[in-house]
Structure 1
Amino acid sequence: MRQAAFDRPVLRAVDGLRFWRLLGTGRGASMTLGADLRRWALFAVWRHPDDLDAFLRRSPIAARWRDEAVELWQVRLAPLSSRGRWGGVDPFAGAVPPAVPEGEEPEGPVAVLTRATIRLTRLAAFYRAVPEVDRTLHAQEGRLASVGIGEWPVARQATFSLWRDGAAATAFAYRTAAHADVIRRVRARDWYAEELFARFVPFGSEGTWDGRDPLR
């Protein structure tokens, strides 16, 4: 927790790091109130893969992860599609997505990031809806792994998930009753002050997440 504060000025000075967020994680598969204080994440957008390689070789932050973490997993992601803002910024502006025929889902695994700033007047309604979505997500066919993440406790929340393919991710988002109902209420009652939804093609994963690499 100390390093979550001390690493920020170091990250601000990293060459080629265009956008980043240090994130805590929840105990559930999606956005839950419980926190796992031992597990942390870095979401980062890089100017070029060489900048990431240099960070992993030279940064004291990356060295500490390797030396001190009980478990470490990382994955490189190519943005496939995105909409919305994160802190008023489009993190993927200018990114060239992998070629996928129009109207078709990408073959192979996809990663999904959903992130929102929840309006204070909608917090209670939001968290009442979370347990059923979390249970559905745990049981969803095609889910490889998922975790709730957040910048701030309670109000700035996100979910990162990995799926067998794009069709599985779409089936959960729009065809499961619990999640589809939440989407409807989010739109009808204006739960979010800001939101971001992005899909990625994952590549180059290494390490383990809960004892395994979910992409292997």
Structure 2
Amino acid sequence: MARDPRRVRTLPGVTFAKFLGTGKGVTFGPGDADLTRFAAVIVSAAPVALPEWDHLSSTSAVVSLTPLHSVGTWSGRAPFTPNADKSDGMVLALTRARLHPLRALTFYNAVPPVVAELDRAPGLLARFGIGEAPIGWQGTVSVWRGAADLRDFAYRQPEHRAVIDRTPTDKWYAEDLFARFAVRDVTGDRAVLGWITEQKGRERR
């Protein structure tokens, strides 16, 4: 986790790389951390192999993405360049924020109602939290059956809409980013992503 980001960023075609811890996505606080699972977000012109990770891991998954929309910055950069207008299939949403330390507690208190509704959201296929050192630099990853399911949750679900409306006034974030991607392919063990079973997915329809 400490060494590989520097190495990966020097590979040909790589323009951005972050190596992250993950969380269960329940409270988004420090106690939510999942110490058995790690993630890498890599922007590259070609697939990037991580043989050291493969050697250490008991199971893994790779999600190949095409950026559809991106607003905000991550470590002072806008890493994702949208190069497609829409997706007719699965979409992945990535949110990332650096919290103001004095406002973190109010943010953590606002999250549980949203997470409870997220678990019941139609079209949700997978979700988990992501984080980087220090505490308070965190985000979420969610995979949806289609763009309409994501839009319905983001803008029509009351608890999530309330958090969006509070963001400008509560000023939780020192830096934030929201990006949406078309999912081109998923390889490996989808359970690593917290993937919902196909049977459960059918029950939600």
- What interval of TM-score do these two structures reach, taking the shorter chain for normalisation? 0.7 to 0.9
Q: TM-score, normalised by structure 2?
A: 0.87
Counterpart-to-counterpart distance in 1, 2:126 and 2:194: 9
Measured after TM superposition, the shift of residue 205 of structure 1 is: 1.6
Measured after TM superposition, the shift of residue 89 of structure 1 is: 0.5
Counterpart-to-counterpart distance in 1, 2:129 and 2:29: 7
Aligned counterpart, 1:36: 34
- 1:97 corresponds, among 67, 71, 83, to 83
Q: Counterparts in 2 of 1:1-216, with a 5 A limit?
A: 4-28=1-25, 31-33=28-30, 34-46=32-44, 48-49=45-46, 52=47, 55-56=48-49, 62-92=50-80, 95-100=81-86, 106-210=87-191, 214=195
Counterpart-to-counterpart distance in 1, 2:42 and 2:168: 28
Q: Mark the CA change 1:29 to 1:147 in structure 2 (over 3 Å): closer, same or farther.
A: farther
Counterpart-to-counterpart distance in 1, 2:13 and 2:35: 29
Measured after TM superposition, the shift of residue 211 of structure 1 is: 6.2
RMSD of aligned alpha carbons: 2.1
Letter in 2 for 1:98: A
Give the % identical residues.
Answer: 37
Unmatched 5+ stretches in structure 1: 57-61, 101-105
Counterpart-to-counterpart distance in 2, 1:152 and 1:171: 32
Counterpart-to-counterpart distance in 1, 2:177 and 2:18: 14
Aligned counterpart, 1:59: none
Letter in 2 for 1:38: T
Q: Relative to structure 2, which stretch is displaced further, 62-71 or 119-128?
A: 62-71
Aligned 8 A contact 1:26 1:148 in 2:
yes
Aligned 8 A contact 2:89 2:183 in 1:
no
Aligned 8 A contact 2:94 2:141 in 1:
yes
Residue 190 of structure 2: SS of its match in structure 1? coil
Counterpart-to-counterpart distance in 1, 2:39 and 2:9: 16
Aligned 8 A contact 1:143 1:162 in 2:
yes
Letter in 2 for 1:185: R
Measured after TM superposition, the shift of residue 177 of structure 1 is: 1.5
Query: Where do 4+ consecutive residues of structure 1 move more than 6 Å?
Result: none
Counterpart-to-counterpart distance in 2, 1:19 and 1:30: 28
Measured after TM superposition, the shift of residue 134 of structure 1 is: 1.4
Letter in 2 for 1:209: R
